[in-house]
Chain A
Amino acid sequence: MSGFNAEEIEQTTARLGQVQMSPRGAEQALDRARVMILSRREELQRRHKMGRLIMRIAIPSGIAAAIILATVLSVVLVPGHQATAAEELQQVAQANTAYKGWIHIHATLQAVPGTTLPAPKESLPSDVWDHVNTVDGTQARVNVIGKQRTMDIYLPSRKEVATYDSQTGEVRWATMGADTAKGMTETAAMSPVTLAQTLLQVKKDTGRDPEEVLLKRENGLDRYDITLFKNEEEAKRVYQERGESPWFNKATLWTDPQSRLIQKMRYVNHGMDISSDFTYGKPEIGDIYELGAPKNAKVIDNRLRTDLAGVLDRLAARAVKGLGNCVAVITMSDVEDSSTQPIKGGGFVQLYEKEPTRWFAAHYRIGDANGRVAKGAFLPVAPEGWALPDVGQLVGQLKDIAPSQFWLMDGDKGWAGWARQPSISYDSRVVAAKEHDVMLAQEGLGGAVWPSGGGSSIGSTDSKAELITDPARPGLVGITSERTWKEQGQSIRSESVSWIDPTRDDMPVEKTWRYWVNGSLFTETSTKYLEYAQLPDGQWYPKRWVETRLDNVPRRSTTQLTKSLTQYNLLVVPNMTLDKDWFVNLAEKFGKVK
């Protein structure tokens, strides 16, 4: 090209714009990228056990939506021109919260013409039946997607879960962990409080009460037309700022004027117009077959044998008890091999505290190598003696640092929060009294020390688990779990093995987790516990362990193996306590919460 002029440059760049990937090359690259994301997601879910638990104990969406609206609006509305509607709605909230027993909701979903759906229309359900028993936590759901019918039922009183899929024709059974079962039972009763607190955030986000509540009588029912936000833009902005999927902005509730129980509800969410009908009381559902699964369906029984269930219950109890009353720190730092000092003067710290009536857990960054974190959200210089710092000194240094995650309870109240970087703001929620043990077992020190069902795939109907022994590991007991499933067109398998020592308070000895995609090993982590110690009361605890992680990063025609080692040190100071200033909502203390 000689003597370029502006027009020629524009023409050439326009031709450049026509260059495309070959379809096959694009497909390969996108598949590899999907595999990478799936691997990360599985790993995150494995690491953040609470996320998994919350997912399992989430109440059916129709009920959640109804309860959220009824409860939240009753809390946030103030007397004024909407006083009558607010007072009426408050009674609706009280009646629905007080109701104990079965709630059945049949939702029909229709795509709103001209809107973008969250998934291809043919993959979205047209009918959903939700059933929940607020007394014992039983929850069941039936989804109709075209000709396919899927069902699941969670039975916390029996610690069992069952699913049915008309496409496979299989009924699958699994065992729920004790913590999950307990969580489901308690959450069914206390959900309105928690969810109401979550939506109270609406007021914080917008600085005002919901935009409008209108009440009128219609066909013998009270009809409430509720608008949360000024317009769709504000709704979108608020949800986006909070890093949440958009919920709805407008909803209509119909309630019975006498009982005040919700009878109908309608709202538009994600391009779907959702209408729900509510009924209360019978039928009582205690089985997958009562949901409509054919009695001659093939049964795949992945329920745990009694011996394994017993071990998991014992580990769950140890996780709640933890190491007694103490302050403890787990430092995490990169090392080159299991005998070396940290590669760089930083990493992560998990700080724990437990007293008879309160407990605390938070994660902090030490040093910020990549500069992506806001000032104040990390301890810039690693404490003296890293990675075995003086606990008292470290606690003093962390007091003014914003944690990346936290969970804490003081008596009957508590908070949990997850920081959103680079600015310091949090997604946070109130932790209710009934979540005390469940949360403590998952996120407290005990959850970091002992393996649990929540950290593996145990409890999923597509996973198998068993208790094993090995002559090469005399006296140890192994818990294995294996899960296979399909996702985004990929065939995925994950395996985990945890070895514990029953003679030393079930101390973890070794654990391995492997993640396979289409038959190829994608990620493997193996943890070896290297040193142990005993507290004055004789309780064992692990002092040092090293996790080795191998990743097969996909490349064009091969994979690139990456290896990293992380060393963990646990430092425990029995009977030390954190002062009361730590037991506040850290999201409000540190976050730029509007």
Chain B
Amino acid sequence: MADQSEIVMDLLNSEGSRLLGLLKRLTLREDIAQDLLQELVIRLLESKKFFGATSKIAFARRCAMNLAFNWRRRARPKLPGLSLEGQADPKPSPHQQVADADEFQEILRASETLSELQRDIFILHFVEQESYESIASQYGKTAQQVRGLAHKAIEDIRLRLNRHEDSSQEQTHVRV
């Protein structure tokens, strides 16, 4: 019987940095990403599904995305307080970093309203830059279906962001 902890250790050694990066991008908090990695490891060690999964990394990433979005739901009232330390070089100006952080947060918040499948595809393709074919193989879909879901996700996010924008302006107007 394969040693289960061995499999998780192998995954951590080969993919740990990528998983941490994903957690950081979805939480925009280095400290939270560190904690969620511990949670992820515990889940993988205890998950029988993980050991039966054809693609261990795909399973782990799905699990990481769920953990990150669960955290976002729980932490929503306190979400500001972003940490973009570690942003790739060349680093944006401080002003640009703040602007980026706001935009990232808005998009991630909007993506919370998507279905889990759409959200995963959106994150994997547009944030993690993974090809439609690769995502399709992980989710048992065709590349065409994934492409469709990805663009539907973009459209839903766009509508949500603009609706939010409209309602903010409306509120501002009323207040004035």
The yes or no answer to A539 lying at the interface (CB within 8 A) is no
Interface assignment of A19: CB less than 8 Å from any CB of chain B = yes
Residues of B bordering A, CB below 8 Å:
1-6, 8-9, 12, 16-17, 20-21, 24-25, 28, 30-31, 33-35, 37-38, 40-42, 45, 47-49, 51-52, 54, 84-88, 100, 102-104, 106-108, 122, 126-129, 151, 154-155, 157-158, 161-162, 165
Q: Decide yes or no whether A345 CB sits under 8 A from chain B.
A: no
Of A4, A18, A36, which one neighbours B41 at CB under 8 angstroms? Answer: A36
Chain A contacts of B108 at CB under 8 A? Answer: 16
Q: Which 4 pairs show the lowest CB-CB distances between chains A and B?
A: A421-B48, A41-B5, A13-B126, A22-B86
Residues of chain A with a CB closer than 8 A to B41's CB: 33, 36-37
A336: min CB distance to chain B, Å? 22
Distance of A517 from chain B, by nearest CB (Å): 14
Q: Assess the A20–B86 pair: CB atoms within 8 A.
A: yes
Q: Which of A3, A4, A21, A555 contacts B30 (CB 8 A)?
A: A21
A16-B127 contact, Cβ under 8 Å, with A372-B49, A418-B1: yes
Instruction: Give the interface of A toward B (CB within 8 A).
Output: 1-6, 9-10, 12-23, 25-26, 28-30, 32-34, 36-38, 40-41, 44, 51, 240, 243-245, 372-373, 418, 420-423, 427, 488, 553-556
Q: Which residue of A1, A19, A33 is within 8 Å of B24 (Cβ)? A: A19
Cβ of A420 and Cβ of B35 under 8 Å apart?
A: no
**In the complex, chain B residues whose CB is within 8 Å of the CB of A555:** 35, 38
Chain B residues within an 8 Å CB radius of A2:
165
A21 to B3, CA, bound (A): 29
Contact B20 A26 (CB under 8 A): yes
CB of B21 within 8 A of CB of A44, answer no
Q: Which residues from A are CB-within-8-Å of B100?
A: 12, 15-16
A423 to B48, CA, bound (A): 9
Q: Which residues of A contact B87 (CB under 8 A)?
A: 18-20
B51 touches A9 (CB 8 A): no
Q: Is the CB of B38 within 8 A of A36?
A: yes
A21 touches B17 (CB 8 A): yes
CB-CB < 8 A to A240: which residues of B? Answer: 54
Question: How far does the alpha carbon of A553 sit from the alpha carbon of B40 in the complex, in Å?
Answer: 13
Which of B37, B88, B151, B158 interacts with A4 by CB under 8 Å? Answer: B158
Q: Are A10 and B154 interface neighbours, CB within 8 A?
A: yes
7 of the cross-chain contacts (CB-CB < 8 Å) are A4-B161, A19-B21, A26-B17, A28-B34, A29-B37, A37-B9, A555-B38
**Of A3, A36, A41, A372, the contact of B162 (CB 8 Å cutoff):** A3
- Other 20 A-B pairs with CB < 8 A, given A4-B158, A556-B31: A16-B100, A17-B129, A21-B33, A22-B86, A23-B86, A29-B33, A30-B17, A32-B34, A33-B12, A37-B5, A41-B5, A44-B4, A44-B5, A243-B51, A243-B52, A372-B47, A372-B48, A420-B48, A427-B1, A555-B38
